[in-house]
Amino acid sequence: DTEVTQTPKHLVMGMTNKKSLKCEQHMGHRAMYWYKQKAKKPPELMFVYSYEKLSINESVPSRFSPECPNSSLLNLHLHALQPEDSALYLCASSLTELAGGRGTDTQYFGPGTRLTVL
Amino acid sequence: GNSVTQMEGPVTLSEEAFLTINCTYTATGYPSLFWYVQYPGEGLQLLLKATKADDKGSNKGFEATYRKETTSFHLEKGSVQVSDSAVYFCALRKGNFNKFYFGSGTKLNVKP
């Protein structure tokens, strides 16, 4: 099973709402990632979790709050977003955060959550 | 800094045509280079990769050769199919961490 699942597929929220995005993998990967992808742009890294601890925060505004409750699950909590935060949010996972051996640098991506902020 | 530049799309080809998507990179040292593909409505999938100069990555008829002298990693396929229609991203990874730098993506449309 090389699948990363994300829910919901689509999300529309107002600027005062609180919502959460969910990502799940059962490949035994210990590194998980959140990316933001605007239309016709490449994915931009937001956060990296390694062994359930936050490893990298790419200076993301605090209205985005990641959480890794266990090694299979990654959440992204959203609060007081702006319309410019509308984008496709991609989750990915890899065996480890460090690229050291065969296959360890392959990231598996989920299909994404398309977020619209009104 | 580290960056990847890809040719702008969309690229429109007829089935069985030859495909080239150009990719050049800027990085010090010896990054690993990747091509990812994103089919409509899906996440990114690793297509192929190369980890050192002169390495050739290949998968599903696609090939790319890591050229250190021209800092390039162009994607090629001899005969495209309609099912190859997707967005293709070139990316590099530098150092020990799995942090990727993606190009802007090139959309490929293949017509029957």
Is the CB of B43 inside 8 Å of chain A's CB atoms? yes
Nearest neighbour of B98 by CB, restricted to A97, A109, A111: A97
Cβ contact B43–A90 (<8 Å):
yes
In this predicted model, what pLDDT tens digit does every residue of B85-99 receive, in sequence order? 999 999 998 777 778
Read off the tokens for A64: 């985005």
Is the CB of A12 inside 8 Å of chain B's CB atoms? no
Average pLDDT of the residues in A5-23: 95
Nearest neighbour of A99 by CB, restricted to B91, B96, B105: B96
The pLDDT, as a whole number, for residue B71 is: 95
Size of interface A-B (CB pairs under 8 A): 62
pLDDT in tens, chain B (112 residues): 888 999 888 999 999 999 999 999 999 888 899 999 999 878 889 999 998 899 999 999 999 999 999 999 999 999 999 999 999 999 998 777 778 889 999 999 999 9
DSSP-derived secondary structure letter, A85: G
In this predicted model, what pLDDT tens digit does every residue of A57-87 receive, in sequence order? 999 999 999 999 999 999 999 999 999 999 9
Cβ contact A40–B97 (<8 Å):
no
Q: What is the 3-state secondary structure (H, E, C) of B43-103?
A: CEEEEEEECCCCCEEEECCEEEECECCCCECCEEECCCCHHHCEEEEEEEECCCECCEEEC
Q: How far apart are CA A27 and CA A2, in angstroms?
A: 6
Which chain B residue lies closest to A89 (C-alpha atoms)? B43
Interface test with B, best of A29, A30, A57, A109 (most B CBs within 10 A): A109
Nearest neighbour of A42 by CB, restricted to B42, B89, B96: B89
Q: Are the C-beta atoms of B76 and B20 separated by less than 8 Å?
A: yes
pLDDT level of residue A41 (50, 70, 90 thresholds): confident
